[in-house]
């Protein structure tokens, strides 16, 4: 009975099945857990940074206190490191939560979201969560085709997701193609550049898109959003 009361767009949504814990896989294969590395989970097989461990231990002393939901000091540090204003930085519990924030901000039931054919599955899942339709542009040879994305735009298109490098194919879109794409983009569409794996790119001609900020130290959040291009990062170094 309760399932019938749920939002209808969720009834056909496939349940995400995460990988089994390392211990379960090790037991099934009869090997030691230390011999298994989960390549699909973005885990660091070398272990955590000693500095990160020290910081976490120090933070335990403040465990009885309510945490800073705005992550004031972290946002200040990231703003200084990246050259942005603090109000240009949004933090979340992983990039999936930030993608969901974008759904809350921009998507309505019946809207269209455009992604590449082999894009990160979270884009489609979040679109479904808000009752939006996902249009998957063709990706010949597993390369993102920005021209195909432009051709896929409809009057209902609200958001376009571009993972660069793409997840999971690893394809990197050149800055020249991004420049051409942005110059042709209608003013009413938000573009999200998901650069979770940017630091792993070795192609020197690629740089972070100049379309994101004109004057990042002085632009306010509303002006930044109006500039139509947002960027996601899952980690900062």
User: Running along the chain, 237 residues long, what does each successive block of 10 average in pLDDT?
Assistant: 81 76 91 83 78 93 90 92 87 88 94 95 92 95 94 96 89 89 90 83 56 36 42 54
| Structural element, H or E, at residue 162 | strand 157-163
Tokens 């519990």 correspond to: 93
In this prediction, residue 123 carries a pLDDT of 94
Tokens of 73: 């000091």
* The 3-state secondary structure of 198-228, one letter per residue: HHHCCCCCCCCCCCCCCCCCCCCHHHHHHCC
Task: Write the CATH number of the domain with boundaries 87-232.
Answer: 3.40.640.10
The full set of domain ranges for the chain reads: 87-232
pLDDT tens digit string along 1-15?
787 888 888 877 777
Exposure string for 184-217, b = 16+ CB within 10 A, e = fewer: ebeeebbbbbbbbbbeeeeeeebeebebbbeeee
| Structural element, H or E, at residue 93 | none
Residue 6 DSSP SS3: coil
């Amino acid at each position: 009975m309760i399932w019938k009361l749920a939002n209808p767009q969720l009834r056909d949504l496939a349940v995400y099945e995460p990988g089994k814990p390392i211990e379960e896989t090790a037991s099934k294969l009869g090997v030691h857990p230390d011999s298994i590395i989960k390549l699909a989970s973005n885990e660091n097989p070398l272990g955590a940074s000693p500095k990160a461990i020290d910081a976490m231990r120090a933070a335990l002393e403040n465990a009885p206190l309510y945490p800073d939901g705005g992550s004031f000091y972290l946002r200040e540090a990231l703003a200084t490191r990246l050259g942005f204003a603090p109000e240009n930085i949004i933090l979340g519990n992983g990039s999936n939560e930030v993608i969901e924030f974008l759904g809350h901000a921009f998507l309505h039931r019946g809207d269209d979201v455009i992604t590449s054919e082999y894009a990160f599955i979270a884009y489609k899942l979040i679109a479904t969560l808000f009752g939006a339709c996902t249009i998957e542009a063709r990706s010949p040879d597993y390369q993102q085709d920005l021209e195909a994305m432009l051709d896929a735009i409809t009057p209902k298109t609200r958001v376009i997701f571009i993972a660069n490098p793409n997840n999971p194919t690893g394809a990197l879109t050149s800055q020249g193609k991004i420049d051409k794409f942005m110059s042709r983009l209608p003013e009413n569409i938000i573009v999200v550049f998901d650069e979770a794996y940017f630091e792993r790119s070795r192609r020197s001609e690629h740089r972070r898109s100049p379309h994101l900020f004109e004057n990042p130290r002085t632009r306010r959040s509303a002006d930044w959003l109006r500039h139509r291009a947002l960027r996601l990062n899952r980690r900062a170094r």
